């Protein structure tokens, strides 16, 4: 009830009383005038006295209310000024008109009359879409709300809450598994003293690193360690690009060894069992990519990689090849037939390896078929298929995707060669239909991987998949030998992937080539397969003509937006650029038939092109990689490529 209502409530009874008294006087006047006169005189006096008293009461009430309002107003103003909530009042033009003491202390500068969107960038625009936004200003964190009617911004300080949350995030547990990649190979010919010295060196280097970053670690095997840390320490390790990799590698040189370290890290959950599994999975991924690197695997499936700058050393053994060969035989013979697929737009290595696996199956009296569609045959492959067409026994092994789909049963084994990514296989539908899958590949393992394979034979140390398959054939029955044409196609696959034995070529590569030559591989026919037609030569020359030299010996060439280039032509251009003086790595960017922009990357080894291509969604080897980008122009792709190269070079310099 307000002041006027209170006065009205008091005044109405007084008026009713006066009217009643007047009515009584009138009645008395009718019956007795003398009594009525006396009563009237008394009534007038009483009305005057009551009126005066009522007026005084009203004045006292007004004074009391005014005094009380003054106290309340002062208290309100004081509360608003000292509230632990920030308030900023704006004028019609969104300039700051007033702010309370809380905001004055937090802003620290005089911003009166300044536009609020300049003091707190675009804050009103952000608040148009949502009722509340979170901002950071002068190391304070706020939830901000806006009252449009009052032109007032309200700032709720959440700094302490944010810091508490950061502390919680920083303290989340991390488990890492460390593995000395080639410890057994290096120490197998050492005496006890030498082995003890290198063990002491390894322990010393890792201990110093662990103490520097406050990491607890334990060596539980000659070549394996487990480490416990938290999210904050992991961030510091990432900032240092895991310098332990280069520290151990450089220190081992003094012991006449090239010892490398791989680390798998699990993060993204507080469940220690899950962290341990993620850590081991990350280590498997790092080793599958050639070792000498770190794979950080998150619970959400994301993986980050560090290191991998050195070309992987040849670590596979004859024993492993023999074990894999017998395991593959067991798996294939448990099924009814074998379907073999390479990657999309298969090259000679993929086709050579597929033919080799088909011969492997025939050696064990199994039906085998190679999936190849006419749309996947390039000019080089066409020359190979022309020769295959002359050999009915070999020709009948080739089927289309639809034919492969129709002949598959629940017991059919699908063998994927020269890729391990499901999205890269020649026909993903055939892969998805298979219950039994085998993967044979020589590329470094990426995040994407074929699910639930019965057998995985991945050796990034090998020159080619054809080399791996050749070794597997050596341990199978010899009654059905490789034919001359089969050996030649496999030999051509090795030639293509090694660039005539100049890249990624180890002693085992020559052993495989020797085995194929002994089975009739024809070098003249190989050269026929690898011949260029005139159009391919012209297109390759067009690409090379656009080359631009960058820093660090990097060369970038490109096609035009209105011309389509075959991926093989693009790859050949990248290969040829490496033969030019001063070029350590080459990247060729061109438009493909599927309207994607393809990038083919090659390196002599000093620059890891795989890391660059992985940053753009692709992958491959340290010296041989590629990617495809959707929905961009040639210029956009080059800009993304240059940014990826710059970031990689920056990280390499920091390491």
Question: Count H helices, E strands: the chain?
Answer: 25, 23
Give the separation between CA 473 and CA 457, rounded to whole angstroms. Answer: 14
CA 551 to chain centre: 27
The response to whether 519 counts as a known ligand-binding position is no
Element (H, E) at 353: helix 348-363
Give the separation between CA 332 and CA 334, rounded to whole angstroms. Answer: 5
Q: Which of 153, 110, 101, 163 is nearest to 132 (CA)?
A: 153
The structure tokens listed for 245 are 């990799």
The response to whether 343 counts as a known ligand-binding position is yes
The structure tokens listed for 485 are 């044409």
The response to whether 326 counts as a known ligand-binding position is no
- Which residue do the tokens 């309370």 mark? 100
Give the separation between CA 558 and CA 546, rounded to whole angstroms. Answer: 6
b/e code 51-80 from CB counts within 10 Å (16+ = b):
eeeeeeeeeeeeeeeeeeeeeeeeeeeeee
For 115, which DSSP code? B
Give the separation between CA 160 and CA 166, rounded to whole angstroms. Answer: 10
Q: Which of 342, 230, 401, 305 is nearest to 611 (CA)?
A: 305
The response to whether 374 counts as a known ligand-binding position is no
The response to whether 67 counts as a known ligand-binding position is no
The response to whether 311 counts as a known ligand-binding position is no
- Which residue do the tokens 């699990």 mark? 266
Rg (C-alpha) for the chain, rounded Å, is: 42
Binding-site residues sit at 343, 347, 349, 418, 442, 497
Binding residues for Mn(2+): 343, 347, 349, 418, 442, 497
């Amino acid at each position: 009830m307000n002041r006027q209502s209170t006065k009205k409530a008091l005044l109405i009874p007084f008026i009713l009383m006066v009217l009643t008294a007047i009515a009584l006087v009138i009645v008395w006047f009718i019956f007795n005038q003398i009594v009525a006169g006396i009563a009237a005189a008394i009534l007038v006096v009483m009305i005057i006295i009551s009126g005066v008293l009522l007026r005084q009461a009203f004045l006292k009430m007004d004074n009391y209310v005014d005094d009380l309002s003054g106290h309340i107003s002062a208290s309100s103003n004081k509360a608003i000024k000292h509230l632990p909530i920030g308030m900023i009042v704006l004028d019609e033009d969104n300039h700051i008109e007033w702010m309370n003491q809380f905001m004055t202390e937090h802003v620290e500068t005089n911003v009166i009359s300044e536009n609020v969107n300049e003091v707190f960038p675009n804050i009103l625009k952000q608040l148009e879409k949502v009722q509340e936004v979170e901002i950071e200003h002068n190391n304070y964190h706020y939830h901000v709300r806006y009252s449009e009617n009052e032109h007032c911004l309200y700032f709720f300080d959440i700094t302490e809450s944010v810091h508490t949350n950061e502390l919680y995030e920083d303290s989340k547990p991390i488990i890492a598994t460390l593995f000395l990649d080639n410890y057994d190979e290096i120490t197998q010919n050492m005496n006890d003293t030498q082995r003890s010295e290198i063990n002491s060196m390894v322990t010393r280097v890792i201990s110093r690193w662990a103490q520097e970053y406050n990491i607890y670690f334990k060596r539980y095997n000659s070549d394996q360690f487990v480490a416990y840390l938290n999210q904050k320490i992991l961030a510091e390790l990432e900032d240092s690009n895991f310098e332990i990799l280069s520290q151990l590698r450089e220190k081992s040189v003094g012991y006449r060894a090239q010892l490398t370290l791989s680390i798998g890290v699990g993060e993204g959950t507080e469940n220690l069992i899950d962290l341990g599994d993620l850590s081991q999975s990350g280590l498997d991924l790092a080793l599958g990519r050639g070792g000498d690197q770190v794979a950080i695997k998150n619970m959400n499936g994301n993986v980050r990689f560090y290191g991998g700058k050195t070309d992987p050393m040849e670590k596979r053994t004859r024993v492993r090849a023999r074990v894999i060969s017998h395991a593959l035989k067991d798996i294939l013979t448990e099924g009814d037939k074998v379907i073999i697929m390479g990657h999309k737009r298969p090259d000679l290595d993929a086709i050579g390896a597929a033919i080799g696996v088909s011969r492997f199956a025939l050696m064990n009296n199994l039906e085998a078929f190679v999936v190849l569609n006419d749309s996947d045959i390039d000019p080089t492959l066409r020359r190979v298929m022309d020769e295959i067409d002359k050999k009915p026994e070999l020709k009948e092994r080739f089927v289309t995707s639809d034919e492969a789909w129709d002949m598959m049963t629940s017991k059919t084994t699908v063998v994927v060669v020269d890729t391990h990514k499901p999205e890269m296989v020649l026909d993903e539908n055939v892969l998805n239909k298979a219950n039994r899958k085998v993967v044979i590949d020589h590329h470094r393992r990426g995040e994407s991987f074929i699910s639930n394979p019965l057998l995985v034979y991945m050796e990034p140390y090998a020159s080619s998949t054809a080399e791996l398959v050749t070794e597997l054939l050596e341990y199978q029955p010899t009654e059905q030998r490789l034919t001359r044409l089969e050996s030649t196609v496999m030999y051509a696959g090795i030639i293509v992937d090694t660039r005539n034995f100049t890249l990624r070529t180890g002693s085992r590569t020559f052993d495989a080539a020797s085995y194929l030559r002994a089975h009739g591989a024809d070098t003249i026919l190989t050269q026929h397969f690898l011949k260029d037609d005139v159009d391919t030569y012209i297109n390759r020359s067009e690409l090379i003509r656009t080359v631009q030299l960058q820093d660090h010996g990097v060369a970038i060439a490109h096609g035009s937006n209105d011309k389509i280039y075959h991926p093989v032509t693009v790859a050949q251009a990248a290969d040829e650029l490496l033969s030019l003086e001063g070029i350590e790595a080459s990247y060729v960017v061109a438009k493909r038939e599927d309207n994607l922009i393809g990038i083919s990357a090659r390196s002599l080894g000093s620059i890891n092109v795989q890391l660059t291509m992985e940053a753009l969604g692709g992958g491959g080897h340290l010296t041989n990689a590629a990617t495809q980008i959707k929905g961009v122009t040639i210029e956009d792709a080059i800009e993304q490529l240059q940014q990826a190269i710059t970031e990689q070079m920056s990280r390499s310099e920091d390491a």
